[in-house]
Structures are given as structure tokens and as C-alpha cells.
Structure 1
């Protein structure tokens, strides 16, 4: 018998707490990922508003919303290595509480471009929890189910959709500081819940050696570099659109800011929903063909987007299909991580790969803003996306396919 009553009797008889259920641990990690990503994405929906308030150029606006992305990305490298050593029960509460500080600062004290850049820099801490959750979930699930489990955990990136749906509306209807106050309270509450309920798997492999030595060893892994590039394209494309799509829709289609934010939220929701699908398909088929399909579709859709068709229905369908392709790709990349990387290095590799994904989302908004400022058009930006996705498909079909076959 393995029901609740049996587990309680076992604990009473032995004095040892029962092993937590993996599904509960997965749910807690996913919620933590979503909450911290919600905080991480608070500035993006306000980009157009801050541009008017602070009289920013197109490039300055792009820089403002991109700073949390790059900090959250690079921060995953040390956070992933620390998670291999300290575990998620320690790291999730710490990162949630640290993120409260920049959230409150941005909501109440920032009043200039420099102030928002400083706050956005530390807001990037919220984007590092991805590297905490992946090794945690990886340890709780067997190899045959890790693709789906990691895909479900990846749904937590839907925190960016929550931000897109609510930030502008709450700021307008309740007050400019309310979205920040709400997120700060939720972060603090989650930190308490995580400390009380999260449990690392007792037999999880704990990495030996210093953080620096393990990072150097990780960067020498060919698989880590290949996976980093693939994730930079898949997740980076998702982040870039979630950050810059509101600005693009306002500039290219003359939508109002609230409508653009809601349409962007739809893009994010679909990409998030497809992430576990990408993991599930990778468990059933193989990550390599799933990635080839995702990158091939992204290439064609980016070329279509470059023609700037009417918003309804063609452009809307193009962007939604791109969301589905990128979301599927993100799930497949981490199914591949679980297969190619030793368990004790998953956190460190996740940090590096996750950093590459975030950096992949940092540069496209800057390029799009710069290109639009120089030419008044977005054609070059979409052509660059198509070329990058085509390159990712080529790398997947050659080097990654060979490494996956050798590992299997």
C-alpha cells in the first residue's frame, strides 16, 4: 500500500518522513519558476509607456526592456552551478526573496532611465530560477519521462504571459506601483512555501569541486556548446518576441498598447503550451527530428513575417505558428540535455544553456530597434531570424545528430 494512510504509518513507525511525490515537487518548482518569471518580465509590457514618460529613443526603450533579460541569462551560469551543490530547497527561496528588492525599487523609487536600468539589472535575478528547477526536476524523474517532466516545468515561463496580461491593465486601473507590490507579496509567500515543502531527492548526485572548476569543465563539454546554440535560437526567439512584439505591433500595425500587450500574451501562452508537447514528442520520437521540424518551421515563418502581411488573419497566424514552433523547440532542447549530460552536471550545463537562451533573446530586440530606427522597417530583422533558424537546423542535422547517436 502506498496511499496517504500507509505513508503516515510508515513515518510513525520509522521516524523517517516519506519520500515526496515527484508530481508535487514538479508542481512546486513550476509555480516558483512562473512567479519569478512574472517578476522578470514586469518591465516589458511597460516599454511603450516608459518611452513616453522618460522620452526615450527606440534604442533606449529596447535597452531598458532587454537589461533584465541579459542579467537573468548570465546569472543562470553561477546559479546553476550552485544548485548542483546546494539544491533547490535552498536556492528557490533565496532567489525569490532577492527578487523582491528590485521589484519594490522599480515600483516605488525608479524615476529615470538610469534608475530603471539599475532596477532592471537586479530584476534579472528572477530569470535565473530556470537553472534551479531543471536539475531539481531531472533528479526526480527517470530518463524515459524527463522530456515531458522538463517540458511541464518549462510551462513556468508562462509567467511572462501573466505579466503581459496584467501589468498594463493593473497599472492603469489600480495604480502604477500596484503590479510591483502584488508580485513582491507573491514572491515572498512563495519563498516561505518553498522552504516548507520543497525537498531535494535524497539520493541526488551532488557535484564535487569548486563552482569555478565545475564551470570550466562544463564549458569544455562539446555538448554544452552545441545545446547552448540551439537554445539560444529556440528560447532566445521566444524571449525576443515576448519582449519586443508589443513595440512591433504598435509601430507596424498602429495598435494601442493594451491591445498589443494582450496579443503578445497570446503568443507567449501558445509557446508555453507547446513546450511540454516538445518534451513529450522527444520522449516518444527523438529530440533531433523534433528540433529539425521546429527550426525549419521557424525559418519559413520568419520569411513570411518579413513581408508584413495584414494583421488579420495572415500575420496573426504567422506569429502564432512561430510561437508553436519555438515552444516545441525549447522543450526538445532540454529533453536532449537530459540525455547527453551526466546527472551531476545537469545544473551547471543548464546554467550555461539557459544563459545562452536568454542572451539569444537579448540581441534581437536591440537589432530590431536599431534597424527600425535606421530604416523605418523590420525586414532585415526578420531575414536575420530566418538565417539563424536555418543555421540551427543545419547544426541539428549534422553535429548534434552525430553526438546524440554516439551517446545512445
Structure 2
């Protein structure tokens, strides 16, 4: 059914990407993802203020900002299953309502302990699971040769982390960090209304399956490879987005507002290039794109580990985020080439792996700081993971090109 649908679309309209699919849905997916990601990483830019109020250790700060990432990783699988059962639009609406209600409750009741921050982190993890909603919502409207662009543009919603870094520290200074939880509900509600008005489920959804059938992709080793690569690319991006405010305040003594601006610059770079990464992967192949990504990311993160000045560290972080953001788009150019019929659950599985990588980086930086007095070991280990991913990609790429059959459809991998 899906093949016939796209063949018909290609005959009717040969004007390219912008004349295919459903632009209102693509825009709605981006906006939904953008605001969801804003609140997902909210604890990161607020962490210095929260730590002062609750007297948290370096390890507790790291665990606090890592908890939403881990919760989002786990919930992405659940949401991915829900998307394939009831459709991405309804799944997104339910998720957003729960997040708004939870934030309002936290604002009204107050968060007064480390345990409370962890509970809040679990709630914010549901916002992080929006990844498994926005991407299939947008991508199901587009044919395989445009998957990288569609997923990249929808996935550019991870720029919401920039909004959190820019505005949360200033609002916390003006009104107190707990008030930021309530204030975040205002844009969330506005975007929910826009989302409900503009988003539309694609006409070619996969046929319903049993719950166990959704986990079938895990029987393929390709699913595990893709999850491993995203663990590094998105894990690095989300882990840094959550942790950089802490790094800049602890390492260089910046104010929380200045640290937020520095973090926003780094995160903006990584968010901006995600659709470019998808487009580049469409052009030269996801494998070639990821090869460059892992090399650049490893070198930049290794350099950050011993950067002596703020300017050098900031520059290297921007380079690392540019590479990792490109890698995020490249991985999701590859996913639908191999698992188009299981795109909903694969989005959840791959996204879950990325969240686990982000949890590891955020928490390990905190523990490294507490145990050794330096962030260096955390950065070096993650740089090593990028090199391991490069070695694994080198091993599997030939088999992918021979067995996936993408070349027969004019798609580069």
C-alpha cells in the first residue's frame, strides 16, 4: 500500500521535497518537538540555582540532570509502541497534556528535596519521549528518498534546548527557579493548541500488530547497530545540553545566566545542523556522513577534556555539537531505509539508546568531577566511545550496502 501511494505521489508531483508530504504536519511536528525538548532539559540550566538551594553535591547535580534523559530513553520505547497503536497525533496530545499537568503540580506544590528533583526528572522524561512522536508523525508523509530531510527538519525541534538555556536562568533570577516550572506551561499550552489544529496522521500507516510483533526489529542485528550509533550521536548531544551549564559554572566560574548563553550557543549549533545532516546523508549516504561525525566528535571531546581557557572550550564544544547534530540527522536517514514498516517502534528503540547515552554522559561528568576533581575523565571516555562507534561502522557498512537494497531505489546509505 505504501509503495503504491508514493508511486502515485511521484507521478502527480515531481517538484521535489516541499511539494510532497504535508507541510502543516511537518511544522506542527517541529513545534511540538521544540517545546517538548525545551522542558525536557529544563533542569540543566536551572541546575546551578537548584544545587545552591538544595545543597547538592557534584554527583547529585549530575544525576539530577541525567534523570530526565534516562526516563525519556525508557519512555520513548513505550511511546513508540503507543504511536504505532493509536497514531502519532493522538499519542502526542496525550503526552503533552500529562507533561503540562505534571509541571503545574510541581510548581504549585514546590520541589524541596533531591528526591523531588528526581521525581520531576521522571516527569520531564515524558517530554523527551516526544522524539518517538514527532519523527514518525512527519516522516510517514514522505517517500524514502526524502526521509533524511523530513526527519531532520522535524528533529530540528531539539533546538528547544536552546530556549531552555537562554531563558530559564534569567527567569529563575527574576522569579525563582520553581516559578519557571509554571511559566513553562504557557508556551507548552499554546503549542498544543497549534499542534491539534495543524497536525494530521499520514494516510499510509503500518498495519496494526500484536505487542510482541513490535519488538521484532530487535531480532535484527542492524537494529542494535543503529541504536549503538545513536547512543553516541544523540547521547553526546543531549548529555552536553543537560550538563554544560554545570560545566561552565564549575569550571570557569560563570554566572548561571552567562553559562546559559554559552550553553545555548553550543546547543544551537548542534540543533541547526540536524536537518543538514539528514540532507547530507541523503546526498552522500548515512555511512559516509557518520564516519566523519565520529572522527570530528572524538577529536573535539578529547580536546575539551584539557581545554585551558573558556574560549577554547567553547569553540571545541561548538565543533563537537556540530558533528553530533549532523550525526543525529544521518542516523535517522538510515533507520527508515532498513525499517520503514517498523518506523514507529524503531524511532522509540533508537531514541531510547540515544537517551541512555545522554544519561551516561551527564551522570559520569558529575561523578568524575566529584571523584577526581575534574571533568576530564568523563569527556575522554565519551571520546573513546565515538572511536569505538567508528570501528563498528567500518565493520558493518559493506554488509548494509549489499543487503539493504536501498541502491535499487536510488537511495544512498
Question: 1:23: which partner in 2?
Answer: 23
Work out whether residues 89 and 133 of structure 2, in 8 Å CA contact, stay in contact via their aligned partners in 1.
no
Map 1:379-398; keep pairs closer than 5 Å: 379-398=376-395
**Deviation sequence 1:65-124 (CA, Å, 0-9, x none):** 111111111100011111112112211111110111221233232211122221221121
Map 1:4-403; keep pairs closer than 5 Å: 22-109=22-109, 110-209=111-210, 211=211, 213-312=212-311, 314-341=312-339, 343-403=340-400
CA distance in 2, matches of 1:115, 1:175: 17
Deviation at 1:20, TM superposition (A): 10
- Partner of 1:79: helix, strand, or coil? helix
Deviation at 1:396, TM superposition (A): 1.3
**Deviation sequence 1:4-56 (CA, Å, 0-9, x none):** xxxxxxxxxxxxxxx99612110111100111111212111111111110011
Work out whether residues 64 and 120 of structure 1, in 8 Å CA contact, stay in contact via their aligned partners in 2.
yes
- Partner of 2:209: helix, strand, or coil? coil
**Deviation sequence 1:307-348 (CA, Å, 0-9, x none):** 223222x2222111111100000000000102111x330010
- Partner of 1:136: helix, strand, or coil? helix
CA distance in 2, matches of 1:262, 1:186: 20
CA distance in 2, matches of 1:127, 1:360: 14
Of 84-93 and 27-36, the range deviating more from structure 2: 84-93
CA distance in 2, matches of 1:271, 1:404: 28
CA distance in 2, matches of 1:337, 1:404: 13
Deviation at 1:150, TM superposition (A): 0.7
Deviation at 1:214, TM superposition (A): 2.7
CA distance in 2, matches of 1:28, 1:404: 34
Question: 1:9: which partner in 2?
Answer: none
Work out whether residues 63 and 366 of structure 2, in 8 Å CA contact, stay in contact via their aligned partners in 1.
no
Deviation at 1:395, TM superposition (A): 1.1
Deviation at 1:401, TM superposition (A): 4.2
Deviation at 1:274, TM superposition (A): 0.9
**Deviation sequence 1:349-374 (CA, Å, 0-9, x none):** 11010000011000112111111111
Work out whether residues 294 and 329 of structure 1, in 8 Å CA contact, stay in contact via their aligned partners in 2.
yes
Deviation at 1:184, TM superposition (A): 1.3
Deviation at 1:397, TM superposition (A): 1.5
Question: 1:15: which partner in 2?
Answer: none
> Size of the alignment, in residue pairs?
386
Work out whether residues 266 and 314 of structure 2, in 8 Å CA contact, stay in contact via their aligned partners in 1.
no
CA distance in 1, matches of 2:330, 2:165: 25
CA distance in 1, matches of 2:255, 2:398: 45
- Partner of 2:308: helix, strand, or coil? coil
Distance 1:88-1:259 versus aligned 2 partners, 3 A rule:
same
CA distance in 2, matches of 1:53, 1:396: 45
Deviation at 1:306, TM superposition (A): 2.0
**Which portions of structure 1, spanning 4 or more consecutive aligned residues, are displaced by more than 4 angstroms?**
none
Which structure 2 segments of 5+ residues have no match?
1-18, 406-413
Q: TM-score, normalised by structure 1?
A: 0.91
Q: TM-score, normalised by structure 2?
A: 0.90
CA distance in 2, matches of 1:401, 1:150: 24
Deviation at 1:175, TM superposition (A): 4.4
- Partner of 1:140: helix, strand, or coil? coil
Which structure 1 segments of 5+ residues have no match?
1-18
CA distance in 1, matches of 2:113, 2:220: 43
Distance 1:172-1:127 versus aligned 2 partners, 3 A rule:
same
CA distance in 2, matches of 1:198, 1:89: 7
Work out whether residues 93 and 190 of structure 1, in 8 Å CA contact, stay in contact via their aligned partners in 2.
no
Question: 2:4: which partner in 1?
Answer: none
Distance 1:308-1:283 versus aligned 2 partners, 3 A rule:
same
